[in-house]
Amino acid sequence: MTALELHGVSRSFGPVRGIEQISLTAGRGELIGLLGPNGAGKTTLLRVLATLLPPTAGTIRVGGYDPREAPAAARRQIGYLPESLPNIPEARVESYLHYRAQLKDIPAIRRRAEVDRCLGCCDLLTVRRRILGNLSHGFRRRVHLAEALLGDPPTLLLDEPTIGLDPLQIQPIRTVLRELAAEHTLLLSTHLLVEAELLCSRALLLSQGRLIEDLPLSQLQQPAVEAEIQGPLEEIRTEWADALECMELSGGWVRIRFAGDSETLRTAVAARCVSRGWKLRALQRHASTLEEHFVRAMIQK
């Protein structure tokens, strides 16, 4: 069963569109990065999926349930970690999680074992009796990640899950996310592109509330050759219509990227430039990064 389905989903705030006409599907076992600059609509999308905001247009199904028709059933499919954490500073960690487990209708007979499981997942057993208000931001973030895991929901919506964590805290949480992705669907919003590249199999790129690209990250690992050629942009595009990318640079130069990496390919590119009278100033192997792709996508959108 598909874990998440969105068709033409929009959410407006008066005259302002938070997200617009977003369609996507996500299946079990996927860890998907939700990327975009500030104001792109990432948090709005997660809040709509978490049923905290109703869409103003479009349809959503979470684990096969429509939140408008079966809100309780849809919410049981979701664990949500917001970017801004709820604040109950006087509560102890363990008591707070018991309270949240009760709100999630986890039966009393299972509640203690479930809280212990989530404390262990997030490496919080040593602070279970500490008061939330006395914990660092990083520890409080881990407490709320543990809260999202209560009840073992099949879909996890995580808004900046590692923000505020130090390097020693980040590595165990990333390990937890990888392990969860084997049996769950994770949608992870982050500004850390290196983190997305390490963890995710897909990246959803948002800009101004629109989904501009659904990128399988395996594409970034494909061998490629990059050339910088001085010549007419449209003629170069026509000459290599099957190129992965063709982008105009300053001074009449054009950067073009080809799939594959062989001496034959590089020789053919150089020979074609000579035959057409185009200058060639770079011809090299290229390993693309998510950061490079992200910046190009935001410039070209």
For domain 2-217, give the CATH number: 3.40.50.300
The rounded distance, in Å, linking the Cα atoms of 224 and 244 is: 9
Domain boundaries, the chain: 2-217, 222-300
User: Which long-range CB contacts under 8 A does 237-241 form with residues at least 24 apart?
Assistant: 239/272, 239/276
The pTM of the full predicted model, rounded to 2 decimals, is 0.80
pLDDT at 264: 86
- DSSP classification of residue 63: T
The rounded distance, in Å, linking the Cα atoms of 240 and 230 is: 14
SS3 state at 225: strand
List per-residue pLDDT tens for the chain, 301 residues long.
688 999 999 999 988 989 999 999 999 889 999 999 999 999 999 999 999 999 999 999 999 999 999 999 999 999 999 988 777 889 999 999 999 999 999 999 999 999 999 999 998 999 999 999 999 888 888 999 999 999 999 999 999 998 878 888 888 888 889 999 988 999 999 988 889 988 999 999 999 999 999 988 887 767 788 899 999 999 999 989 888 788 889 889 999 988 887 788 889 999 999 999 999 999 988 767 787 778 777 877 6
Instruction: For residue 103, give the H/E element and its range.
Output: helix 93-103
For domain 222-300, give the CATH number: 3.30.70
Which tokens sit at 56?
Answer: 């103003």
pLDDT at 66: 92
The rounded distance, in Å, linking the Cα atoms of 24 and 48 is: 14
pLDDT at 244: 78
